[in-house]
Amino acid sequence: MNFKSSLLRMRQRAFTLIEMLVVLIIVSLIVTLIVQGFGYTLGLYQRVVKSQNNAYQEVLVYHWFTSSLQSQVAMRPDDRALEGDSVQLSTYSFQPLLAKQGVKTLIRWELQVQAGELVLGYTEGQTRFPVQRWPRATGQFEYLDDQGKWLRNWPAEKTDSNPLPKAIRLLVNSGRDSFNYVVKVETRQRAEVTSDELMYGRD
């Protein structure tokens, strides 16, 4: 009698095959949910990092573009002022990206389509390098005149003393995103000679 009762109690304490299967299914579901959650978290982290890197790159491009064009040099007898169209522009700047700051340097910005990407390139002296790439995008340079009108060519009419535009902007449209880089020219738009420059020179 005692043997039968003890055997019955052992059977009651042990797991049946169905109970073991249920436990295994529950554990596998929990592990699956944990792995999926970890994968989603990792993917979300990678997207956030990529977005931050893209935002940092856009800020860096805007800084380079604006700093090099804010301090342009108005036309002088031995050089020229800004000349450009919708895909390229060249001008003298006091804030080049590579040369020493404050030295008058000829720079060039241009847009090219390469392998389905819009590439913004920068040239200074013999050095040229791509600054930014936008997949499947279109873009153009525009120039603001004294009447507040944006033009695709500068100067609109060439004269003996071509002025600088009031502002320059780069428009980029990549489908979902669009960028509008506007640079206000902070130097004199015309080559006016001051008394100090007459006395000490302009360079």
- In the chain, where the domains are located: 54-200
Whether residue 5 has pLDDT greater than 90:
no
Whether residue 3 has pLDDT greater than 70:
no
107 or 73: which carries more pLDDT confidence? 107
102, exposed or middle or buried, with CB in 10 Å at 0-12, 13-18, 19+? exposed
Q: Which residues contact 61 (CB under 8 A, 6 or more apart)?
A: 120, 131, 132, 181
Could you tell me the pLDDT band of residue 28, with boundaries at 50, 70 and 90? confident
Cα 146 from Cα 72, distance rounded (Å): 17
pLDDT score for 20: 79
Whether residue 103 has pLDDT greater than 60:
yes
Average pLDDT of the segment spanning 188-199: 57
Cα 97 from Cα 124, distance rounded (Å): 8
Alpha-carbon distances of 187 from 30, 66, 71, 165, 180, rounded to whole Å: 66, 13, 6, 10, 21
Bridge partners of 151? 143
pTM above 0.75, yes or no: no
Q: Which of 56-70, 118-132, 183-197 has the highest mean pLDDT?
A: 118-132
